[in-house]
Amino acid sequence: MRTILVILMVGSVLVSSAAAEARQLNLMPMPAALQMQAGQLVIDPAFSVGISGHSDAQLQRTVERFLDDLRRQTGMPPLDMKITNPAQATLVVHCEHETKAVQELGEDESYSLEISAAGAKLEATTTLGIMRGLQTFLQLVQTTSDGFVAPAITIQDKPRFPWRGLMIDVGRHFIPLDALKRNLDGMAAVKLNVFHWHLSDNQGFRVESKKFPKLTEMGSDGLYYTQDEVRDLIAYAHDRGIRIVPEFDMPGHSTAWFVGYPELASGPGPYQIERKWGVFDPAMDPTQERTYKFLDAFIGEMTKLFPDQYFHIGGDEVNGKQWDTNPQIQAFMRAHGLKTNQDLQAYFNTRVQKIVSKHGKTMVGWDEILRPDLPKDIVVQSWRGQDSLAAAARQGYRGILSYGYYLDLMWPASRHYAVDPMSDGAANLTPEEKQRILGGEACMWSEYVSPENIDSRIWPRTAAIAERLWSPQDVTDVNSMYQRLDYVSRWLDWLGLTHNSSYGPMLRRIAGSNDISTLRTFTDVVEPVKDYTREEIATVEATSLSPLSRVVDAARPESDTARHFADLVDALIAGQADPSAKQEVRTLLIRWRDNQSNLQALGTQSFLLTEIIPLSQDLSAVATTGLQALDYLDRGERASDDWATQQFAVLAEAQKPKAQLLLMVAPSVQKLVEASSGQKAPSPQK
């Protein structure tokens, strides 16, 4: 262990010393160690790659794909930039051996990259490290006055955690294969290595089973992946250094199974595909041998389809109601000394784990599965937090963190970025216990995502989570993160991700017009409500049949404009704003104040605008308040308490969610009012 620790420390030191220099580098995740050098490497049409050392088809494809990416980024035609003899190549790629046919947890992803004015060398133990290093190379390429260049640099890089994942729930809303592929491209770009595919839920069963065809025939609305498509995606992921871990959620979250196979359930059928969101009663019957017979055959089929060593059985959120009301199940519990539904679920998990193990796989499940009678090789995925993860680690279980990484909660990137798998309860683990914390996973639960807006929920925020899981623990500068995130976000456009490009078309649909300047001004400063508020305050219950075409579906999870405005206001109040920054605050406030009259006019032409008019009025009112506060500050005159009280009321109203949106510039205007009046805004009422 000591060796590893020393290397990590050295890595940290190097990063710290390089961090200031590296500010202008657009690397994300930040490498473990880097050293800027003098000079730069010009990337022109003569650029070439040579493969020395081990070579195989996967490595060839990796380099071809890298060249495609580099050509796209620089606008070079396919006739330029070739694979050539290593002796003549601009970039020499050298790896020692191939990756495993089935990528393994903890397989070596390290690489070293050396770029000088004369050329570049990328070395790695396996093709996996080459994949990671080539992404770093792409991120280094910049447009400069000398042409496209990569700065001279030395990088020694390796991941902090071996399990760095993204989960996508395709059960609640089906996400087609092409959308998954572009998201896998995005994952590879930020060095994530596990795609956790949540394949079944109450609202849909999404994988073809040859043994149990009614699972999709009756449980998918025709929206599922064939086994050929699954194999295609697995190969696609493998080529990008990404493992695919399938999840089939059981014994709860399984209504879609019961539509075709009601005999699996604990209550009488028939069942329908669930259209609503939430936790529902149907659960598998853990007391019937036919359940295990079915699962044995099903898991046998699926473990052959999915080559990864890990197999996720879900195991979360069983409300137990069907068990409580089924006399046969109650009798079984009494007969076997199972006192609680948790005991019954533990019994189920033990049985299922044996099946998974029999088929040669290692079981993964959510927090709830953890019971000391399960073997130590299982992996716990924690939505509960680091304490839960630490408790598991102390008991000898490996775990991955998803608490703090739920993308559907619409948190800002900075909040995800602050969540570290090794913090809180995990901070005091022994080195051996810490080894059991494998990493984490960003989770895209899909109640409110469609192929159109899913990318905007995943990206760019997931890049910040990817950095948390790859980079050294002390890489925590939020300003630097946002600066690089902005670059990465636009860089991901080259891969066909639609988080930026879908915004305009969605706004045009909402506006019913090509002129969306007014609507964009509004939408740029709002965010969808956070956590589970969207359900809580809904006036009409959302279902899987609800169109996702509202402003709340187009608005970004995090308003860059509001964040920028907040920075300006903070500087202004601190007396650190230059005249142009002061002017920008005023210009923004005037634009927001005047936006409402245009939006009101537009509102009469589109039903999708009606709901946002009250919040647009709030924006106008808040901006008016802000301008008045600015005038006080400019004049050096203290605003009256009465005025401040009035404005705080305006601001309190404006901070109430409307149309399931939050007005993100209100808190900064509140600061202006506070600064101009010397008054503190009353705490918001709960």
Can you give the binding site for a second copy, defined by CB under 8 A? 45, 72-80, 142-147, 173-174, 221, 223, 450, 452, 486-487, 490, 493-494, 500-501, 504-506, 508-514, 544-549, 553, 604-608, 610
Tell me whether residue 391 or residue 548 sits nearer to a second copy (CB atom).
548
Instruction: State the nearest-atom distance from the C-beta of 152 to a second copy, in Å.
Output: 18
C-alpha span between 47 and 93 (Å, rounded): 13
Instruction: State the nearest-atom distance from the C-beta of 414 to a second copy, in Å.
Output: 19
The two tokens of residue 151 are 């700065």
> Under a CB-based contact definition with an 8 Å cutoff, are residues 442 and 458 in contact?
yes
> Under a CB-based contact definition with an 8 Å cutoff, are residues 257 and 205 in contact?
yes
Asked if 317 is an active-site residue, the reply is yes
Instruction: State the nearest-atom distance from the C-beta of 496 to a second copy, in Å.
Output: 10
Q: What are phi and psi of 641, to 5 degrees?
A: -60, -40
Tell me whether residue 24 or residue 646 sits nearer to a second copy (CB atom).
24
The residues, any chain, with a CB within 8 Å of residue 536's CB and separated by 6 or more, are none
> Under a CB-based contact definition with an 8 Å cutoff, are residues 506 and 453 in contact?
yes
Instruction: State the nearest-atom distance from the C-beta of 219 to a second copy, in Å.
Output: 13
Q: Compute CA distances 7 → 2, 11, 160, 476, whole Å.
A: 9, 6, 12, 19
Q: Which ranges constitute the DSSP H helices of 360-430? A: 386-394, 413-417
Instruction: State the nearest-atom distance from the C-beta of 458 to a second copy, in Å.
Output: 19
Tell me whether residue 117 or residue 223 sits nearer to a second copy (CB atom).
223
Tell me whether residue 271 or residue 383 sits nearer to a second copy (CB atom).
271
C-alpha span between 65 and 131 (Å, rounded): 10
> Under a CB-based contact definition with an 8 Å cutoff, are residues 619 and 665 in contact?
yes
Q: Tell me the residue ranges of DSSP E strands in 117-266.
A: 119-126, 142-144, 147-157, 163-169, 194-201, 204-205, 243-250
Q: With CA atoms as reference, report the closest residue to 478 among 403, 556, 389, 566.
A: 566
Instruction: State the nearest-atom distance from the C-beta of 43 to a second copy, in Å.
Output: 11
Cis check: omega of the bond before 431, within 30 degrees of 0: no
CA-CA-CA-CA torsion sign (66, 70, 73, 79)? negative
Of the candidates 98, 104, 229, 317, the residue annotated as catalytic is 317
Report, as residue numbers or ranges, the catalytic residues. 317
